[in-house]
Structures are given as C-alpha cells and as structure tokens.
C-alpha cells in the first residue's frame, strides 16, 4: 500500500487537501504521478482548456473511490503535482500573441504584412519547445523512479514531451487515440506545436510504431492522405463508420477487439474529450456532433487490458472550464488510473 495515512477512510467525505480525489498520497508514496499542463496557446476555436486541470481537481473530490474494475485502486497512491502557475501565466501571454497570428491568417493576409508577425510566430514556437522539454524532464524523473505518469491538459498539444520520455524507456509502443480530430496537421497555422499537430509530431518519434484513432469525424483531406500513405502505421476508426457497423448489427465488443488487434504490447492512451458526444464535455475547445459514449470508451479500455496489453501511460486533454466538464474529466482520469498496469 502506497498510502502514508493509515486511518484514511475511502468511504469518507472527499477531503480538499490539494491532491486529486482528496487522496492522502504525496509524490514519494504515490505509484501514479499526475502532471497538469495548463496550456492552450494555439487554441483556434473555444478557449478555456488551460483551466481544465483545475476543474478536474475541484470536481475530483466528488468522485466515490469504489471502482468496479479495481475496487482498491486508490491504494496504489495517486498524486497530482501542483498546477504550475508560471506555465499558466506564460500560456496567457503567448495565447494573446497567437490570437494576432490566427486573426491575420483568418483574414487571408500574410504574417509579413506590417506589423511583421513572423518573429512572434518564432517566439511562440520556441515557447512550445521549452514546454515540451519541461514536461519531458518531469516525466523522465518520475519514470526513472519506477512511477507511472499521467498528463492532464490543457489543449491536446501538451503530451508531446511525455511521448518523448516514454520513448527513452520503450523501444516500441502504440497510441490509442480517442478524438474527433486526427491531429495530423503539419504546423497548423504555422504553430509547430499546435493542438491540431500533436499526432503529426508524435509520428516523428520512431518508437511509436502504431497510431490507432477512434471517433474521428472532423478531418481534412490532407490528413486523410497522410493516413492513407502511412503504410498502416495509422489506423483510423471514423465515427460515422463505427455507427454504421453498430446499426447494422455488429457488436461493440467485436469492434473493440478489432481496434485492439492493431496495437502492440505496450499502449499509451491519448484521450481528447472531444472524441466523446459533446453532451459530456460541451465546453471542450472544438466540440463536434456525434462521438462516443463514456462507457463505450471504458469498455474499449477494459478490453485492451483483457487482451494482455499493458497501458504504459495516458493523457486527458481538452476538458473545458466548467464544472460539468471537470466532473466528467475527473471520472475519466480515475478510470484510467485504475486500468493502468
């Protein structure tokens, strides 16, 4: 047991003690370290996901700790590091700058017009690079201590440094990606580390052998071409096709087993909540009609574990700045914390 409070009562009232779910773990005693990354610099539609980690933390004390998949999962020790205020402040600064670039491009004007915004773009890309390096260091430190790591965004650009850290430990791993979007754009709007470019950047990591994307329903021609030219390194499961198969009588179990069959033994789960039906997280950055039910995704994750594969890490991103979104986000985090192995 990785708990340093022997009289802790998991059935008691959730204690607001600064830690997620009110658990009594600290960094040293915890098996799972959760790192919050309050960053949404390149947001191009709805804002607020930089405050997602705080919403998840606030809602987490309302989550009862009995989990059907792992009733005593809380005993592993789960610790969420302090939401870094300096990163949030940098996010606010650079997001204001990025908005100028996005507005210029939306008007159909080049960045080189007066005032020239190309130096601003360079500055933002450098800030993204520094964020990735910070997260890489935080994750590698925890991994080297034998701990598991989870990342909470922020927008979906944030886990790249974690992908890179896992690549130093695992020579071959796959990503199970829940999302309405493929996120395969090359430097979307000029931002090298855009939320729409996370999987494009992930595929630059040779240790990531497979990307299986589930729930796609808002995708560009270019991204479809990238998928088609990937030699099946990328396997897409489009939401409309999933629905057509279910309506035609296929079972979700059979579809889950097919999805999982493409993945290697070690699997990372990257969960953008806009992959869900937007009623579940309506304040996410880029909501899209359609999508998965929450229990559908949990069923998929359970089947992944039952297949004998190992979940080596996860992220939960794009949770909006609202109480309900935080509630759903907290439950996703707790489920994945109890399935990680």
Binding-site residue numbers for Mn(2+) are: 156, 179, 181, 183, 272, 274
- Which residues are annotated binding-site positions? 156, 179, 181, 183, 272, 274
Half-sphere exposure in the Cβ direction for 121 (13 Å, CA): 19
Bridge partners (DSSP) listed for residue 173: 208
Ordered strands of the 78-80 beta sheet:
78-80, 32-37, 148-153, 310-317, 266-272, 173-178, 208-216, 234-238
What is the DSSP code string of 189-206? GG-TT-GGGHHHHHTTST
- Report how far Cα 235 is from the mean position of its chain's Cα atoms: 18
Any residues with CB less than 8 A from the CB of 318 and at least 6 apart, and which?
A: 49, 52, 153, 155, 156, 195, 272, 273, 274, 281, 284, 285, 286
Say how many C-beta atoms besides its own lie within 10 A of residue 217's C-beta: 20
Pairing of strands 310-317, 148-153: parallel
Residues found in the chain: 341
Residue 153 C-alpha from the chain's centroid: 6
């Amino acid at each position: 047991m990785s708990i340093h409070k022997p009289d802790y009562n998991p059935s008691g009232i959730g204690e607001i003690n600064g830690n997620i779910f009110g658990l009594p773990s600290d960094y040293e005693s915890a098996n799972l370290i959760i790192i919050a990354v309050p960053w949404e610099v390149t947001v191009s539609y709805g804002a607020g996901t930089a405050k997602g980690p705080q919403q998840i933390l606030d809602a987490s004390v309302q989550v009862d700790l009995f989990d059907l998949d792992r009733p005593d999962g809380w005993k592993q020790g789960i610790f969420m590091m302090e939401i870094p205020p300096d990163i949030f402040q940098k996010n606010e600064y650079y997001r204001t700058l990025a908005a100028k670039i996005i507005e210029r491009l939306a008007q159909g004007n080049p960045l080189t017009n007066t005032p020239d915004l190309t130096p601003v773009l360079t500055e933002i890309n450098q800030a993204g690079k520094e964020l990735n390096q910070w997260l890489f260091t935080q994750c590698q430190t925890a991994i080297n201590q034998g701990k598991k790591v989870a990342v909470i965004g922020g927008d979906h650009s944030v886990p790249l440094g974690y992908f890179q850290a896992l690549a130093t430990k695992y020579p071959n791993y796959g990503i199970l990606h829940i999302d309405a979007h493929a996120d395969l754009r090359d430097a979307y709007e000029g931002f090298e580390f855009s939320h729409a470019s996370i999987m494009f950047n992930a595929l630059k990591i040779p240790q990531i052998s497979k990307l299986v994307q589930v729930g796609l329903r808002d995708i560009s021609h270019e991204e479809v071409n990238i998928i088609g030219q990937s030699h099946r390194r990328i396997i897409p499961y489009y939401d409309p096709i999933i629905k057509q198969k279910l309506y035609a009588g296929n079972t979700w179990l059979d579809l889950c087993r097919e999805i999982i069959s493409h993945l290697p033994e070690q699997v990372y789960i990257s969960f953008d909540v806009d992959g869900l039906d937007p009623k579940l997280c309506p304040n996410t950055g880029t909501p899209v009609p359609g999508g998965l039910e929450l229990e559908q995704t949990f069923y998929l994750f359970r089947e992944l574990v039952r297949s004998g594969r190992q979940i080596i890490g996860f992220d939960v991103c794009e949770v909006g700045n609202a109480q309900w979104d935080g509630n759903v986000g907290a439950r996703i985090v707790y489920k994945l914390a109890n399935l990680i192995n």
